[in-house]
Amino acid sequence: MKNARALCLPNILYWILIFYMFFNEILTKSIFENITILKYLIILYLFFYIIHRTKYSAKNIYSKPLKVFYVYIVIISILTISNWAFTLSGIGAYKNLLILPLSIYIFSFYENITGKSRDDLMTLIVKMAVAHVLINTFLYFYEIPIWKVFHPYWGRISQGYPTVDVVLLNFSLAILLIYKGLKFKTLIKILFAFILVIGILLLASGTGIVMMTIVFALSILIPILQKRYVKKIKTTIVTLILLLISFSSAVQIIKNVDESLYESMYLSLQNRMSILLGQESELDINTMDIRKERRSDIKKMQTDDFDVLFGRGFSNLNMNPEIRNVPGTIFLEDQYSVNLLTIGVIGALMFLVCFAIEAIKAIKQKRELIAVIILLFIISSFTSGCLINFSISLFVGIFLQRPQISMYEYKLKQKN
């Protein structure tokens, strides 16, 4: 009974973290924004709880490439500290950079601390992703008096942050189609896959469509290469068939219910796909051009070769999309641009090399899902601030943990 009670609190806290992972962006758009601070307190609590309960050395948890990359960030942060380095923008960036290593640490002990399996964790993530799609869609169509801004993004069915949400949903779709140990029957897997695909499409993201295509392609290719063939890809195949059959019906329903919404979604998605394909769009908006302008602003801020090669640190980074014109800072959404500004060309290259090594290592260890998640993470770095975003960093940290810390390695302190 005592052991059951001891496991109960960590179970609840991990569950809340997964909830925040998917619903954090929605909460920040509502009057409940202040409660999002709880996620950081939970992470710190679990971190110190694990340190207290185990004698396992943290240095054995992190890979060498990741340790080198973070040591580099620390060195650059020290070398580039200015009189105003610890403004809210600087502190926010430093704080979010810690989420990935903290996530790796606390989820490395998930099974030992909670008594639950890796399969349970993956199942929970998929369920939460499906819940996110359903709740987010409901909140978009039925206004309730909790929003700071209702319908914050034109042409995109989202009350959260589509740039981040579409990455999380593609991560979850990859788990659903590739992970072998999910506790769902085939029909439930097909239904959940269908819901996640619809959720991705509703966010009207060009990058999301590209990532989803990669997920479907790899979920078919991986079993073929492993000679498991149709038996292991039936969920993917049936989902694709259902999607093709029902997509036109769903589009027609949206068009009949709200034609203006249909037109805005069509234009938004068409605009983003045209940008990716290098074609002209019906809208006079080009997010690639916006990113080019911001990178031009980065170059103007870089005053010498040191700034170009090693960056200017995190003091000049603005992470608040609601207040973009802060003197001496630049608002950046994608991690590649963030890296160029903060840790320079060398740091941006180290970022790519570090995670590429992790993906290659996962492939060699036949941990294909991890390789896919890291690939999607690298792709997302060109459209979202993935490393400095709480939700994406927390998600990826779950997959960069050690495969399993055995009970032999995990030594609980003896209690009197």
- DSSP letter, residue 147: B
Q: How far apart are CA 49 and CA 27, in angstroms?
A: 27
What is the arithmetic mean of pLDDT over 67-71? 94
Question: Higher pLDDT residue, 264 or 224?
Answer: 224
Average pLDDT, the chain: 81
Q: Which of 123-132, 266-275, 296-305 has the highest mean pLDDT?
A: 123-132
Question: Higher pLDDT residue, 144 or 91?
Answer: 144
Span of 53-57, 139-143, 168-172 with lowest mean pLDDT: 53-57
What's the angle, vertex CA 315, arms to CA 312 and CA 321, rounded to 5? 115
Q: How far apart are CA 229 and CA 189, in angstroms?
A: 18
Q: How far apart are CA 137 and CA 338, in angstroms?
A: 31
Q: How far apart are CA 230 and CA 403, in angstroms?
A: 28
What's the angle, vertex CA 243, arms to CA 240 and CA 247, rounded to 5? 150
- DSSP letter, residue 275: H
**pTM to 2 decimal places:** 0.88
Q: Is the pLDDT of residue 45 over 80?
A: yes
Q: Is the pLDDT of residue 88 over 70?
A: no
- Longest Cα–Cα distance of the chain, Å, equals 72
Are 192 and 238 within 8 A, CB to CB? no
Describe the crossing of helices 186-202 and 229-257 by its angle, rounded to 10 degrees: 40
Task: Tell me which residue has tokens 């070398």.
Answer: 79
> Which residues, 6+ apart, have CB-to-CB distance to 339 below 8 Å?
311, 347, 348, 351, 381
pLDDT band at 414 (very low <50, low <70, confident <90, very high): very low
pLDDT digits (tens, 9 = 90+) for 200-216: 988 878 788 889 989 98
Are 358 and 63 within 8 A, CB to CB? yes
In this predicted structure, what is the pLDDT of residue 406? 41
pLDDT band at 331 (very low <50, low <70, confident <90, very high): confident
Q: How far apart are CA 156 and CA 168, in angstroms?
A: 16
Q: What are phi and psi of 147, to 5 degrees?
A: -95, 140
In this predicted structure, what is the pLDDT of residue 285? 55
pLDDT digits (tens, 9 = 90+) for 357-381: 999 999 998 899 999 999 999 999 9
Q: Which neighbouring-strand residues pair with 330?
A: 317
pLDDT digits (tens, 9 = 90+) for 177-192: 999 889 888 889 888 9
What is the arithmetic mean of pLDDT over 219-240? 71
Q: What are phi and psi of 331, to 5 degrees?
A: -85, 120
Q: Is the pLDDT of residue 77 over 80?
A: yes
3-state helix, strand, coil in the chain (%, to 5): 70, 0, 25
